[in-house]
Amino acid sequence: MSAAQPEVPPLLEVNNIEVVYSDVILVLRGLSLKVPKGEIVALLGANGAGKSTTLKAISGLLKTEDGEVTRGDVTFAGERINGIDPHLIVRRGIFQVMEGRRIVSDMTALENLRLGAFTRRDREVGDDIERVYGYFPRLKERTGLAGYLSGGEQQMLAIGRALMARPKLILMDEPSMGLSPLLVQEVFGIIRKINQDLGVTILLVEQNARMALSVASYGYVMEQGKVVLDGTAAELADNEDVKEFYLGGHGAERKSFRNLKSFKRRKRWL
């Protein structure tokens, strides 16, 4: 396994971690990955492979679900961070945009954005709100409760809220979920732009492998709690297995879908 630029230490390094939920459910079985500073790295995999669990292991949110990293290390900016409370990990510069957007629906969009800046003490929060409005102009027009925003607007708000924390690393969990193809294009355009403009490093979890590989520089494919394949985005996009299972070749979509279903069922009964 080799990162894109092996000479500088990566911003994030996950080394051979094992994650257990409720003391008995083993979900990650020795997973490793590296995210170099300033890049977008994609993490692909079927339903139930453990992608969200990987992100939660990094952000510490695992704790809130009775999960635990039982082996291995998560190293961020040279320091070991596993076991640290999630709110302190946010202060270190890692911000997770959770699956399903998870905006606070009984607050306005603006309040959600201000909430994103909770850990900050500086006086530039107002400027950053304007900058987020620059990326997502339509958020500025929405003054009602965020719960009434459309799915796409909620995803934009979730990303905007993450930017408000000025993180070094954003963990993004399925930003394309439930969005129309056009909106997926738009959201990924903005993800790329944020990465280029602000230099934010992004670890991107996606089911939409085509989209993810189009913005990422490097990618990992995981299955049953382990990385089974990794390479540059171009290499992965050319890989026959990836093509068949994740990029939806001829009839492959249905085949993989059936696979995933039985896979999920098996895991449930474990």
Partner 1 sequence: MDFTLFFPLLLNGLIVGALYGVVAMSFVLIYKASQVVNFAQGEFLLVGAWVCWWLLTTYPIPFWAGFLVTMCFMTLFGIILQVVVLRPLIGEPVISVIMATVGMSIFFQALMKWMFGVFAKPFPPIFATERVQVLGLQVQPVYLLSLVVSLFIMLGFWWFFTYSKHGLAMRATAFDQQVAQSLGVSVPRVFAMSWAISAVVSSVAGVVVGVVNGVSSALSFYGIKVFPAVILGGLDSIIGAVLGGLIVGVLENLAQWVDSEFLNWGNMTQIAPFYALVLILLIKPYGLFGTKNIERV
Contact set with ligand ATP (CB under 6 A): 21-22, 25, 27, 45, 47-53, 65, 67, 99, 207, 267
Q: Nearer Cβ to ligand ATP, position 49 or 163?
A: 49
Q: Interface with partner 1 includes 59 (CB under 8 A)?
A: yes
Shortest reach from residue 9's CB to partner 1, in Å: 25
Least Å distance, CB 258 to partner 1, is 25
Spatial separation of the C-alpha atoms in residues 236 and 219, rounded to whole Å:
7
Nearest distance from C-beta of residue 253 to Mg ion, angstroms: 19
Candidates 16, 26, 65, 126; binder of partner 1 (CB under 8 A) is 65
**With binding defined as CB under 8 A, does residue 116 bind partner 1?**
yes
Choice from 10, 13, 48, 52 touching Mg ion (CB under 5 A): 52
Q: What is the DSSP string of the chain?
A: ---S-TTSPPSEEEEEEEEEETTTEEEEEEEEEEE-TT-EEEEEE-TTSSHHHHHHHHHSGGGGGTEEEEEEEEEETTEE-TTS-HHHHHHHTEEEE-TT----TTSBHHHHHHHHTTT--SS-HHHHHHHHHHH-HHHHH--SBGGGS-HHHHHHHHHHHHHHT--SEEEEE-TTTT--HHHHHHHHHHHHHHHHHH--EEEEEES-HHHHHHH-SEEEEEETTEEEEEEEHHHHHH-HHHHHHTS--TTHHHHHHHHHHHHHHHHHH-
Q: Which of 119, 185, 214, 217 binds partner 1 (CB under 8 A)?
A: 119
Told to check if 90 binds partner 1 by CB under 8 A, we report: yes
- Determine, following the binding rule CB under 8 A, whether residue 118 of this chain makes contact with partner 1: yes
- C-beta separation of 139 from 192 below 8 A: no
| Spatial CA neighbour of 92 closest among 74, 112, 72, 119 | 119
Our finding on whether 259 is near partner 1 (CB under 8 A) is no
Site string for partner 1, 163-182 (x = CB under 8 A): --x-----------------
Q: How many residues does the chain have?
A: 270
Q: Residue written as tokens 């890692």?
A: 94
Q: Which does 168 bind (CB under 5 to 8 A by kind): ligand ATP, Mg ion, partner 1, none?
A: none
Q: Which is nearer to partner 1, 117 or 183 (CB)?
A: 117
Which of 95, 136, 220, 245 contacts partner 1 by CB under 8 A? Answer: 95
Q: Which is nearer to partner 1, 117 or 215 (CB)?
A: 117
Q: Nearer Cβ to partner 1, position 65 or 197?
A: 65
State in angstroms the smallest separation of the CB of 44 from ligand ATP: 10
> Residue 193 CB, nearest distance to ligand ATP (Å)?
25
Residues of the shown chain interacting with Mg ion in the complex, contacts defined by CB under 5 A: 52, 99
